[in-house]
């Protein structure tokens, strides 16, 4: 049974977290500060007040535009806020304790990394390394995975993709796999243990193949040098991979 009050708390916390994470996704790759100064409109520079910063509701009331200059508000804000709210509601609703907080944090960070990789092919250490740290700490209350399995999972996830990246570079003379992908898989291994990694990789590869087939069906060019956001695929495959691991 879902706890409605815990789910409501998780949804509100997720919407607030999503507001910050959406700003991070939009500004960080551009080298713009996220923590410094007050939030302002990207169009006219007007400092935003409390009424402008209510997650999801402010943009809805303002019809997606700044009240001063009419500049469009990037829809990513509302989508990330809604996504984090859903993650928080499900995590705390079904697991209304420290474990639910862990699931929520894992979901919020994976969503952020998935979008950064999708939009910029970038998985920053400032997110992947804390994700691994939380897997060894908060993750102990989230999943019933022994610490030794977490250590093996982190090492196997990182070193496995690192070996593939180095081998590809040695054979082809160019980069084919970013080290951020290896660090992300290692962080996932710290949360879910080594047993889940084969299923996560299989699902991620299947999603990538399906995406390529869809692109071909739509008449888009798919070549050997075409880039794919592996980090995004790994993030999407994490929960299904964990579920499949539990069923087998």
The per-residue pLDDT for range 153-164, each reduced to its tens digit, is 999 999 999 999
Q: What pLDDT band is residue 33 in, cutting at 50, 70 and 90?
A: low
State the pLDDT at residue 70: 61
Residues 78, 5 share a domain: yes
Q: Which of 203, 167, 206 is nearest to 188 (CA)?
A: 203
State the pLDDT at residue 177: 80
Q: What pLDDT band is residue 54 in, cutting at 50, 70 and 90?
A: low
Residues 142, 76 share a domain: no
Residues 244, 153 share a domain: yes
The pLDDT of residue 45 is above 60? no
Q: What pLDDT band is residue 110 in, cutting at 50, 70 and 90?
A: very high
CA 193 to chain centre: 18
Residues 129, 70 share a domain: no
Residues 246, 132 share a domain: yes
The pLDDT of residue 40 is above 70? no
Question: Mean pLDDT throughout 118-134?
Answer: 96
State the pLDDT at residue 216: 80
State the pLDDT at residue 213: 85
- Look at residue 89 and tell me if it is in a domain: yes
Taking a C-beta distance cutoff of 8 angstroms, is the pair 206, 236 a contact? Answer: no
Work out how many domains the chain is built from and give that number. Answer: 2
DSSP letters spanning 166-211: HHHHHHHSS--S-HHHHHHHHHHHHHH-GGGHHHHHHHHHHHHHHH
Tokens of 121: 């092919």
Residues 213, 136 share a domain: yes
The pLDDT of residue 47 is above 70? no
State the pLDDT at residue 178: 80
Q: What pLDDT band is residue 141 in, cutting at 50, 70 and 90?
A: very high
* Spatial CB neighbours of 85, under 8 Å, sequence gap ≥ 6: 10, 11, 12, 14, 15, 18, 55, 56
- Look at residue 115 and tell me if it is in a domain: no
The pLDDT of residue 182 is above 90? yes
Residues 242, 129 share a domain: yes
State the pLDDT at residue 131: 98
- Look at residue 118 and tell me if it is in a domain: no
- Look at residue 116 and tell me if it is in a domain: no
| Listed range (12-16, 131-135, 206-210, 218-222) with the worst mean pLDDT | 218-222
Residues 149, 64 share a domain: no
Residues 142, 65 share a domain: no
- Look at residue 143 and tell me if it is in a domain: yes
- Look at residue 193 and tell me if it is in a domain: yes
State the pLDDT at residue 53: 59
The pLDDT of residue 248 is above 80? no
Q: Which of 49, 86, 85 is nearest to 68 (CA)?
A: 49
Residues 92, 128 share a domain: no
Q: Which of 200, 224, 202, 203 is nearest to 212 (CA)?
A: 224
- Look at residue 232 and tell me if it is in a domain: yes
Residues 136, 30 share a domain: no
Tokens of 102: 């862990």
Question: Mean pLDDT throughout 107-120?
Answer: 97
- Look at residue 70 and tell me if it is in a domain: yes
Residues 196, 151 share a domain: yes
Considering only CA atoms, give the Rg of the chain. 19
Of 68 and 80, the one with more pLDDT: 80
CA 53 to chain centre: 22
State the pLDDT at residue 42: 62
Instruction: Report pTM.
Output: 0.90
Q: Which of 61, 96, 131 is the last residue of a domain?
A: 96
Q: How many residues would you count in the chain?
A: 248
The pLDDT of residue 50 is above 60? no
Compute the distance between CA of residue 136 and CA of residue 189 in angstroms, rounded to an integer.
Answer: 10
Of 172 and 95, the one with more pLDDT: 95
Containing domain of residue 154, as a range? 123-248
Tokens of 120: 């910029």
């Amino acid at each position: 049974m879902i706890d409605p009050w815990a789910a409501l708390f998780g949804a509100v916390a997720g919407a607030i977290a999503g507001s910050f994470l959406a700003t991070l996704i939009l500004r960080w790759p551009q080298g713009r500060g996220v923590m410094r100064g007050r939030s302002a409109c990207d169009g006219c520079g007007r400092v935003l007040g409390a009424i402008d910063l209510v997650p999801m509701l402010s943009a809805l009331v303002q019809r997606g535009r700044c009240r001063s200059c009419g500049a469009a508000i990037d829809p990513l804000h509302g989508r990330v806020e809604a996504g984090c709210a859903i993650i928080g509601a499900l995590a705390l609703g079904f697991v209304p304790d420290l474990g639910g907080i862990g699931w929520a944090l894992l979901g919020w960070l994976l969503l952020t990394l998935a979008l950064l990789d999708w939009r910029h092919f970038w998985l920053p250490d400032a997110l992947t390394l804390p994700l691994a740290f939380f897997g060894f700490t908060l993750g102990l209350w989230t999943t019933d995975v022994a610490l030794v399995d977490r250590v093996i999972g982190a090492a196997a996830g990182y070193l496995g993709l690192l070996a593939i990246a180095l081998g590809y570079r040695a054979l082809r003379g160019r980069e084919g796999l970013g080290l951020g992908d290896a660090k992300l898989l290692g962080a996932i291994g710290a949360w879910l243990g080594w047993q889940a990694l084969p299923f996560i990789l299989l699902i991620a590869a299947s999603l990538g193949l399906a995406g390529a087939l869809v692109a071909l069906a739509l008449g888009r060019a798919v070549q050997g040098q075409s880039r794919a956001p592996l980090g995004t695929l790994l993030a999407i495959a994490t929960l299904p991979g964990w579920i499949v691991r539990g069923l087998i």
